[in-house]
Structure 1
Amino acid sequence: MKRRLYYILILCCLFSIKICAQVKSKDGTILALTPPMGWMTWNYFADNINEKDIKEMADAMVSTGMLSAGYNYVFIDDGWQGGRDNRNNIIADPQKFPSGIKALADYVHSKGLKLGIYSDAALLTCAGYTASLGFEEQDAKAFANWGIDYLKYDYCGAPDDVEIAKQRYKTMADALRNSGRDIAFGICEWGGRKPWLWAAQAGGQLWRTTNDVRDKWKRRSVEEGGEGILNIMDLNASLDQYAGPGHWNDMDMLVVGLNGKKGPSGDLGGSGCTNTEYQSQMSLWSIMVSPLAATNDLRNMNAETKRILLNKEVIAINQDPLGKQAIRKVDNDTWTVLLKPLENGDYALAILNRAGTTQIADYDFSGFGLNDHYQIRDLWQHKVIGKGKKWRGSVDAHETKLFRLSKTK
């Protein structure tokens, strides 16, 4: 009898941990039920941000169709801070944000968008601005009073120790929950302390799994540093078990449309990608249910950038309510194949050609555990390209074919 009670207690504890991992809003819904989508300031502006530029980007999110496609956050990254007042309240830089963050939040909200902001679990942020260590409750209440909907919480200047990281992130998560406003929490310690093992229990809805992305396909050498699209995909591909509604593996920002722009994403070999490679990032980030944060200039997008970012069929894979991250089925020097179950019983299938030349793919779906006949819809061509139990076709260098498979009789 004692042994049975012991096992029941263990199961109850495990169940309670799972529930705690999904932070609920005041109306009972789960925060970040699907991966957050929006536009972030960092890769384009770095810390040279101001309210005029952010308002223009908010306007562009509406006028370009980004909002209607699902991108509903404007994320302010590092560089907005102006120190603290004589009561230690954190304030915005009065030169960059003369109207204040609350007025900016009101403007963003009037467009049907949400506003995210940035801080750090140390004394100073990555770019050397005022951070939140020791002021978590005070800053969380300030964010809530301003109308903030999301906090990206960085880890520059903090100790390497994982236990300290857990404590610092939990302190801010608790402060956000006590702030009087629903604020989603993005943990950004770059994966070194394996946040997928603890960040949900600490109160995060998403957590970065890698170092910062650069505007490049892959790292050319260990010495070069900086993560390319392919490097991040490889690092994230084994973490599928940790993703789901209300808790997401964050593969960092989209570099689609940056085209080699100098700045944060242009460091460490970030000289730009081809449109095929940008399209692959959109496919891979979507099937692996990463948050989708565009970072290009939305006010001046070319047709290819719009085509990639605004593909609603691809976005639907990312935002599928089942919330399953794709499982890696093939992993070798030439191919990566990822399979994701969808809520309606369909599957999303991504076939990536890792090689530098065009290759012929030939896959029987039974090798992935799919034993029915399927209609094969190409989500970039927006058409059905075949039916059956297999697919054979040409895949360009660094291209990712993204299919939706629907059972047929």
Structure 2
Amino acid sequence: MKLKLFIALLLASTTTFAQEVKLAATPPMGWMSWNIMSENPNEKDIKEMADAMVASGMVKAGYHYIFLDDCWQGGRDNKNNIIADAKKFPSGIKSLADYLHSKGMKLGIYSDAAPLTCGGFTASFNFENQDAKTFAYWGIDYLKYDYCNAPEDVATAKIRYGKMAQALRKSGREILLGICEWGPREPWNWGAEVGGQSWRTTYDIRDKWNDTEGKGGVGIYNVVDKNAELAKYSGPGKWNDGDMLVAGLHGVKGPSSAYNGKGCTQAEYQSQMSLYSMLNSPLYASCDIRKMDDEARTIFTNEEVVALNQDALGKQAERKIKNDVWDIFVRPLANGDYAIAILNKAASTQNAKINFADLGLADKYEIRDLWQHKVTGKGNKWAGQVAAHETKVFRLKKI
């Protein structure tokens, strides 16, 4: 009898795990409304952004989600069903979801594990099951679940996120859960256990390379440095979320410009894309796709770099070397290849000489540069110049 019970429990847990992996077998990709629309997300602009994502080639490259962030809510109706602001979304959220689905896209939405969101709008605490059913009816595919106005302890966070995860699973629709408590409660330790598919690891990213003073405003490298230590927590169905891609913002006024977010160099924007792909962070752009420049489009739609992020093995890169100048990452890929990323953290161009054996790669390889889109050498080492805050990314094929 005990053996039968054990087998039943084992099968149940395996089924649940398979379902979770199916929900996010690879990191989600898309576009987030917050940096551009902030407190005024609206139906017209969201539809225009979706059209621009299709026209720019982003959807073809894998950016299927539009993540509708805070401030979309209009309160609750007389049956306590959460509703959208009728002025911002006159056709309703279901109509918007239908529009995106017709284009081969998906819709993410936002709520908070407290009575009110970060922006002071209606949230989902004590309405988890009802809101999950509403989201399912609307055709929502992802929920970003924030943690403003909630208690600071870990135990409460686990309970509140777990309750929403269960509600989503019972809603009748497959909806991903993105845990957004910003890292203080170390959600990488418990996020998957309570039913999340990803978890933010830091506070909100700003449009800058690095925050060195600790006064607020996380930069690109702050996130990379944090996520580099969390490789063992990442894998299919469970991802370390580094927050938004900032390429194309160029210091535009808004949330991303807070805390001295004045913009980044092309090398820095490209490095974020490279390193987030190596580290398996969800990829979601946040600039105005309708008017983004060719530089940002090239960064977002580099299919060879995106392929690292979406690799079926789902193995996050490990940082093999970290010193004052270099961070060097290595990750295995599903077809037996390896990817390496070489980041120059210095403020000036540096000469690199990398022996692959020092990274644990003992064979000889064909070396393909994923930004130049060509094979640049063969052997067991690489040497070359790396510009300030640039990241070289290579795919190594054994020969």
Name the residue aligned to 2:35.
43
| Contact 1:105-1:148 within 8 A present in 2 as well | yes
> Could you say if the C-alpha distance between residues 144 and 235 of structure 1 is closer, same or farther in structure 2, counting changes exceeding 3 Å?
same
Name the residue aligned to 2:17.
22
Give the match's secondary structure for 1:134. Answer: coil
Whole-angstrom CA distance in 2 between matches of 1:23 and 1:144: 20
Deviation at 1:21, TM superposition (A): 7.2
Whole-angstrom CA distance in 2 between matches of 1:361 and 1:17: 51
Deviation at 1:92, TM superposition (A): 0.1
Give the match's secondary structure for 2:108. Answer: strand
Deviation at 1:12, TM superposition (A): 11
Question: Normalization by structure 1: what TM-score?
Answer: 0.94
Whole-angstrom CA distance in 2 between matches of 1:304 and 1:30: 33
Asked whether 1:171 is paired with 2:163, we answer yes
Give the match's secondary structure for 1:376. Answer: strand
Q: CA RMSD in A?
A: 1.7
Name the residue aligned to 1:285.
276
Deviation at 1:208, TM superposition (A): 0.6
Name the residue aligned to 2:119.
127
Question: Normalization by structure 2: what TM-score?
Answer: 0.96
Asked whether 1:152 is paired with 2:119, we answer no
Whole-angstrom CA distance in 1 between matches of 2:330 and 2:347: 23
Deviation at 1:280, TM superposition (A): 0.2
Number of residue equivalences? 395
Name the residue aligned to 1:332.
323
Deviation at 1:333, TM superposition (A): 1.0
Asked whether 1:57 is paired with 2:52, we answer no
Whole-angstrom CA distance in 1 between matches of 2:204 and 2:153: 20
Which of 270, 279, 293 pairs up with 1:302?
Answer: 293
Find runs of 4+ consecutive structure 1 residues off by over 2 angstroms.
Answer: 15-23
Deviation at 1:181, TM superposition (A): 0.5
How do 1:60-99 and structure 2 match up within 5 A? 60-99=52-91
Deviation at 1:16, TM superposition (A): 7.9
Q: What runs of 5+ residues in structure 1 fail to find an aligned partner?
A: none
| Contact 1:240-1:325 within 8 A present in 2 as well | yes
Per-residue CA deviations over 1:163-215 (Å, capped at 9, x if unaligned) read 00000000000000010111011000011111111010100000111111110
Name the residue aligned to 2:304.
313
Deviation at 1:303, TM superposition (A): 1.0
Per-residue CA deviations over 1:278-331 (Å, capped at 9, x if unaligned) read 000000000000000000111112111111111000000000000000000001
How do 1:345-364 and structure 2 match up within 5 A? 345-364=336-355
Deviation at 1:371, TM superposition (A): 0.6
Name the residue aligned to 2:130.
138
Letter in 1 for 2:167: A
> Could you say if the C-alpha distance between residues 209 and 380 of structure 1 is closer, same or farther in structure 2, counting changes exceeding 3 Å?
same
Quick one: percent identity of the two aligned structures? 63
Q: What runs of 5+ residues in structure 2 fail to find an aligned partner?
A: none
Give the match's secondary structure for 2:315. Answer: coil
Whole-angstrom CA distance in 2 between matches of 1:402 and 1:123: 44
Give the match's secondary structure for 1:24. Answer: helix
Name the residue aligned to 1:191.
183
Name the residue aligned to 2:213.
221
> Could you say if the C-alpha distance between residues 308 and 18 of structure 1 is closer, same or farther in structure 2, counting changes exceeding 3 Å?
farther
Letter in 1 for 2:275: L
Deviation at 1:18, TM superposition (A): 7.7
| Contact 1:22-1:200 within 8 A present in 2 as well | no
Per-residue CA deviations over 1:223-276 (Å, capped at 9, x if unaligned) read 3x1110001100110100111111101011100110101111110111100111
Deviation at 1:220, TM superposition (A): 3.6
Name the residue aligned to 1:378.
369
Name the residue aligned to 1:249.
240
Letter in 2 for 1:186: G
